[in-house]
Chains A and B, each alone.
Chain A
Amino acid sequence: MRRNVLPGLRLSLGVTLFYVGLIVVLPIAALVFKAASLGPEDYWRIVSSARALASYRVTVLAALGATLFNLFFGLALAWVLVRYRFPGWRLVDAMVDLPFALPTAVAGISLTALFTANGWFGSILADFGIKVAYTPLGIMIAMCFTSLPFIVRTVQPVLEDLDPALEEAAQSLGGSDFAIFRKVILPLLTPALLAGVSLSFARCLGEFGAIIFIAGNQPMSTEITALLIFIRLEEYDYPAAAAIASVLLITALVMLALTNWMQSRALRYTVRS
């Protein structure tokens, strides 16, 4: 432990702890307290009600689908942005951040406009009998949009920093492109991919604004968990809102811990000469 020679520890740490305490810890503690005051039986009855279970199911399935799509598309996009130069690549690189910058409500209404039966995409898909808006597929597409940058932005820097000599070594040893990608590049990207996947998945589980416009919000089929909480609030059923919100909160904290752990694993190979 180094002795502190710089000034300002008390002030800066005091401000930090006060603010984190007031803004972050207090509300979360209040929520946990509220949920805990329910008693195990009531709590369990609420969080395992058929409607809640259905909401978990559609949320988790759509989040899995969206994350899986983003895993492939995000990797391909990161690869293209790092390895190839083509007219407009800077523009594409900047556009990747749009889902982060665009407010979720705006994304929600514009995706809905695109995918309703008479929208640009919806009308084409309708010809093939595919309905997107107001179906679980719409939820998935909204999730894809809002969580797309996570995987791209976690993989991109790792791919950029990949030592070119590793690839050259693999080439000099006779490896084909496919073998080098599968055995050398992909394993080195895996920690970043997993970290991106967990960030993306966590974001999908909690997403609200982008989804409620495009989802049909029908109980038991297209009602996501975040919306169910909102509905319980509007019904002034505060215990139920607290209980279901605590489920999302716990999931989020587990995902945060998981992401942290994965990112520390991502450091495993960074011992460089």
Chain B
Amino acid sequence: MSATRTGRKPPRVGDAPVFRRLLIGIVLVFVALLILAPLVIIGVEAFSKGWAVYRDTILHPDTQHAIMLTVLAALIAVPVNTAFGVAAAWAITKFDFRGRRFLLVVIEIPFSVSPIVAGVAYLFVYGLQGIFGPTLDAWDIKILFAIPGIILASMFVTAPFVARELIPLMQAQGRDLEEAATSLGASGWRTFLSVTLPNIKWALLYGVVLCNARVMGEFGAVSVVSGNIRGQTNTLPLHIELLYHDYQAAGAFASASILALIAVFTIIAKVALERQGAGRVRASDPSAANPAEKAL
């Protein structure tokens, strides 16, 4: 008698078998239709004209240039935003100063602003219509419709990524360790490198991975400031649009498959980092979903 009863649990809310199966079924269908299908069709469409067309698209000089430009943008924007994220997290979590909370909200702004608005805003700084435009033009420095503009726009869009991963975590960890290290005579850099960094490395990497994915995929802001010059200022997402509107759907999807692959790797890296504990502070604490709340 006892053997058959082992492991029985009283039902929790929603554990009725019919309801449970129905709900899982509905959710899985929608996940398949809304999330899985768009991913699958990229592969299907990319190879719809055969392997040769796929290879030719990827190897085409314009595609190659777009890939290079996308990688270049990431190579600059990601490290800069990482350095900024660490500095911001250190300032906000290790010190008390007036306006800390306000600063947190300002850092979050790029997340809520439409990328198109961001692009337009940059136009009014560096464009001919903008604040610095005439001066830059006089000195013959090209920022807009050139690579610097693309990188600046990418930096705006992804500015909060690293900071928002680090701030809740460093807030939760407090200042005791750093204060102990300082009291033992360690310098600021030494304290950061040997005490703080080991505790935040996974969260830092997590932020870097998400930041990188967004830089490489940014479309709206970049399309405003890039000028869309084929073979010159086209990043991969812009190149996709160009091919798509040129009625080269297979080529567009072939280029898209590269970005889709990056997205899949991003998710794999994300899951792996979450196993190391990254992203957890936020997961267990609703207040940390927005660092502004944690810092109070």
- CB within 8 Å of B: which residues of A? 1-2, 4-9, 11-13, 15-17, 19-20, 23-28, 30-31, 33-34, 73, 76-77, 79-80, 83-84, 86, 90, 92, 94-107, 109-111, 113-114, 119-121, 144-145, 148, 154, 156-158, 160-161, 164, 167, 171, 177, 180-181, 185, 191-192, 195, 202, 205-209, 213, 226-227, 229-230, 233, 238, 241-242, 245, 248-249, 252-253, 255-257, 259-260, 263-264, 266-267, 270
Contacts and interface: CB of A to CB of B under 8 A. Distances in A.
Interface string B108-142: 11101111111011111100011100000000000
A105 B217 contact: yes
A8 B94 CA distance: 9
Nearest to A102: B263
10 contacts: A11-B188, A23-B155, A23-B156, A31-B121, A31-B124, A80-B23, A98-B35, A110-B45, A213-B241, A233-B123
B91 A205 contact: no
B260 A102 contact: yes
Which applies to chain A's interface (DSSP): helix, strand, loop or mixed?
A: helix
Contacts of A256: 105, 108-109, 112
Interface of B: 10, 12-16, 19-20, 23-24, 26-28, 30-31, 33-39, 41-42, 45, 83-84, 87-88, 90-92, 94-97, 103, 105-110, 112-118, 120-125, 129-131, 152, 155-156, 159, 175, 178-179, 182-183, 187-188, 191-192, 210, 213, 216-220, 223-224, 236-238, 240-241, 244, 249, 252-253, 256, 259-260, 263-264, 266-268, 270-271, 282-287, 289-290, 292-293
A109 B286 contact: no
Given A73-B30, A157-B282, A109 B95 contact: no
Contact of B26 (A76, A107, A113, A160): A76
B175 to A, nearest CB: 7
A15 B80 CA distance: 11
A109 B252 contact: yes
Contacts of B19: 177
B95 A206 contact: no
B218 A103 contact: yes
B114 A113 contact: no
Contacts of B240: 105-106, 109
A110 B115 contact: no
Nearest to B240: A105
Given A9-B91, A20-B107, A101-B267, A158 B286 contact: yes
Chain B interface, >50% SS class:
helix
Given A2-B96, A6-B175, A208 B286 contact: no
Contacts of B188: 6-8, 11
Contact of A259 (B83, B130, B290): B290
Contact of A80 (B24, B42, B88, B260): B24
A20 B103 contact: yes
B113 A260 contact: no
Given A105-B217, A109-B256, A226 B23 contact: no
Nearest to A156: B283
A5 B156 CA distance: 32
B28 A98 contact: no
A243 to B, nearest CB: 10
Contact of A264 (B31, B112, B266, B293): B293
B249 A260 contact: no
B84 A110 contact: no
B261 to A, nearest CB: 10
A98 B256 contact: no
Given A5-B179, A77-B31, A259-B290, A114 B124 contact: no
A158 B287 CA distance: 10
A191 B293 CA distance: 14
B271 A94 contact: yes
A259 B105 CA distance: 11
B22 to A, nearest CB: 10
B33 A121 contact: yes
Contacts of A83: 12, 14-15
- Counting from the closest, the 4 A-B pairs by CB-CB distance are A103-B217, A206-B114, A7-B188, A27-B121
B23 A101 contact: no
Contacts of B106: 20, 24-25
A6 B92 CA distance: 12
A24 B159 contact: yes
Contact of A114 (B28, B38, B289): B38
